[in-house]
């Protein structure tokens, strides 16, 4: 899966004349192909393109129009593009590891697939995936992703602030962050001291101690900055107009103690910490929020499937063939992953 690379969301619309016939699979393919493609620019690739709604005459909100009659079939699609160079680099790395790339998906999308409960996906929710270099945001409504974007900051920026603030190497900053990190300081944190050991030979520098409150003082502004950027991104997407505005935090960075409290202050009341759902029998180590995207990747094909056909998959294939991009939602990815999981004794419920 894939995060960052300046994602951009587009809403596409298309319609075809049915002349009163029953909608069949070809009609669905035709209406999807009838969507007018925006000019998404050179150096960009389509990562996802999914129908989010079908309408037959004046009946809208259909998830699968096949088998129904009408005069005009219309559809709304959500398309996500990213920087092509980022995809090419990733594909190159995978190839150099002698692995075969079966598909690419946006990590904020797959995190939401695994971490949002049905109601949240249906009524409106955002998944905020706090990764290392980026913080991905995806918005779901009526079981579909309708918007995705990313903030170009994540947990690694918090680590580098600690590294600079305390004058310690990155590896130690990372360790201090995961062991003692937080965003709310209490009186007790003034007295809890963290040993900073190093071996520069300078005794004064090598035997230093900082209070946990001081560490929190370094971490909090950056976390606030990330969350405020997420807020403005959600505002720009019109998140407040959804019937429900749940926010689910995933990704390794969401494990900072107290983050949910700070997030609800900045993003609104309905914030919860997410973790991967829907896959049973995961090893303990893979049940945390940092694994939401990895688990979501395994869920990708079933979640795309529409009663016996994979409309999204085929559409993606059409669009990707046009743009030479590897396709998301490839059936092979899913089947291979599912088979692998089955071998490990893990079952996936669609
Ligand atoms: N217990 C923890 N407390 C705080 N932060 C943590 C903890 N565990 C991991 N992190 C942070 O989570 C970040 C990595 O998260 P994740 O594994 O979701 O990123 P990624 O998916 O590899 O990166 P990206 O999404 O940017 O490509 C790192 O910045 C790491 O420091
Ligand atoms: Mg990630």
Burial of 78 by CB count in 10 Å (0-12 exposed, 13-18 middle, 19+ buried)?
buried
What pLDDT score does 102 carry?
Answer: 81
pLDDT beyond 70 at 310: no
Q: Using a 6 Å cutoff on CB, does residue 154 contact ligand 1? A: yes
What pLDDT score does 153 carry?
Answer: 97
φ, ψ dihedrals at 12, nearest 5°: -115, 150
CA of 301 to the centre of ligand 1 (A): 26
* Digit-coded pLDDT (tens) for 256-286: 999 999 999 999 989 999 999 988 889 999 9
CA of 61 to the centre of ligand 2 (A): 32
CA of 132 to the centre of ligand 2 (A): 7
Residue nearest to atom 25 of ligand 1 (CA): 131
Both structure tokens of 293: 């995207």
The beta strands (E) that lie in the chain are given as 8-17, 44-56, 59-62, 72-83, 125-130, 135-141, 144-151, 193-197, 207-211, 246-250, 271-273, 279-280, 347-348
- Give the ligand with the smallest distance to the CA of 291: 1
In whole angstroms, give the CA distance from residue 29 to residue 326: 20
The beta strands (E) that lie in 68-134 are given as 72-83, 125-130
Q: Using a 6 Å cutoff on CB, does residue 133 contact ligand 1? A: yes
What DSSP element (H or E) covers 25?
Answer: helix 25-33
Name the pLDDT band for 339 (thresholds 50, 70, 90).
very low
Q: Using a 6 Å cutoff on CB, does residue 254 contact ligand 1? A: no
pLDDT beyond 70 at 39: yes
pLDDT beyond 70 at 329: no
Identify residues whose C-beta is under 5 A from ligand 2, the ion: 3, 107, 131, 293
pLDDT beyond 60 at 316: no
> What would the mean pLDDT of 210-237 be, rounded to a whole number?
97
Q: Using a 6 Å cutoff on CB, does residue 174 contact ligand 1? A: yes
- Give the ligand with the smallest distance to the CA of 107: 2
Separation in Å, CA 275 to CA 261, 289, 323: 17, 4, 34
**In 10 A of CB 321, how many CB atoms?**
10
φ, ψ dihedrals at 254, nearest 5°: -75, 0
Which segment of 158-167, 198-207, 227-236 scores lowest on mean pLDDT? 198-207
CA of 58 to the centre of ligand 2 (A): 40
Name the pLDDT band for 13 (thresholds 50, 70, 90).
very high
* Digit-coded pLDDT (tens) for 40-90: 999 999 999 999 999 999 899 998 999 999 999 999 999 999 999 999 999
Burial of 193 by CB count in 10 Å (0-12 exposed, 13-18 middle, 19+ buried)?
middle
φ, ψ dihedrals at 127, nearest 5°: -105, 120
What pLDDT score does 304 carry?
Answer: 43
CA of 220 to the centre of ligand 2 (A): 21
Both structure tokens of 198: 């190093």
Q: Which of 290, 293, 294, 296 to mutate to test the pocket of ligand 1 (most atoms within 8 A of CB)?
A: 290
Q: Using a 6 Å cutoff on CB, does residue 14 contact ligand 1? A: no
Crossing angle for the helix pair 155-166 and 170-180, to the nearest 10 degrees: 110
pLDDT beyond 80 at 194: yes
pTM, 2 dp? 0.85
Q: Which domains does the chain have, with CATH numbers?
A: 1-104+314-350 (3.30.1490.110), 156-220 (3.30.420.40)
Q: CB–CB of 301/333 below 8 Å?
A: yes
CA of 123 to the centre of ligand 1 (A): 28
Crossing angle for the helix pair 292-304 and 311-323, to the nearest 10 degrees: 110
CA of 155 to the centre of ligand 1 (A): 6
Q: Which of 152, 176, 253 to mutate to test the pocket of ligand 1 (most atoms within 8 A of CB)?
A: 253
What pLDDT score does 301 carry?
Answer: 66
pLDDT beyond 90 at 198: no
């Amino acid at each position: 899966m894939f995060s960052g690379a300046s994602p951009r969301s587009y809403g596409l619309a298309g319609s075809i004349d049915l002349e009163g016939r029953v909608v069949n699979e070809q009609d669905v393919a035709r209406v999807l192909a009838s969507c007018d493609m925006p000019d998404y620019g050179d150096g960009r690739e389509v990562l996802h393109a999914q129908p989010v709604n079908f309408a037959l005459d004046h009946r809208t909100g259909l998830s699968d129009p096949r088998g129904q009659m009408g005069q005009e079939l219309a559809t709304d699609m959500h398309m996500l593009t990213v920087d092509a160079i980022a995809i090419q680099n990733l594909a190159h790395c995978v190839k150099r590891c002698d692995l075969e790339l079966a598909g690419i998906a946006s990590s904020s999308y797959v995190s939401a697939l695994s971490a949002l409960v049905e109601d949240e996906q249906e009524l409106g929710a955002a998944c905020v995936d706090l990764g290392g270099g980026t913080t991905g945001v995806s918005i779901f409504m009526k079981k579909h992703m309708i918007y995705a974007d990313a903030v170009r900051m994540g947990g690694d920026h918090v680590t580098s602030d600690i590294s600079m603030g305390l004058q310690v190497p990155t590896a130690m900053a990372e360790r201090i962050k995961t062991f003692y990190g937080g965003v709310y300081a209490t009186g007790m944190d003034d007295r809890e001291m963290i040993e900073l050991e190093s071996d520069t030979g300078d005794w004064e520098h090598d035997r230093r101690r900082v209070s946990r409150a001081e560490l929190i003082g370094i971490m909090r502004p950056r976390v606030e900055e990330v969350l405020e950027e997420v807020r403005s991104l959600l505002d720009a997407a019109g998140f407040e107009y959804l019937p429900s505005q749940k926010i689910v935090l995933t990704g390794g960075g969401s494990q900072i103690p107290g983050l949910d409290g700070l997030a609800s202050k900045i993003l609104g009341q309905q914030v919860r910490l997410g973790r991967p759902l829907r896959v049973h029998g995961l090893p303990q180590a893979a049940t945390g929020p940092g694994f939401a995207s990895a688990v979501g990747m395994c869920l990708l094909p079933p979640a795309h499937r529409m009663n016996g056909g994979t409309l999204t998959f085929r559409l993606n294939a059409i669009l990707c063939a046009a743009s030479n991009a590897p396709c998301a939602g490839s059936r092979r990815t899913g089947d291979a992953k599912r088979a692998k999981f089955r071998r490990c004794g893990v079952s996936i419920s669609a």
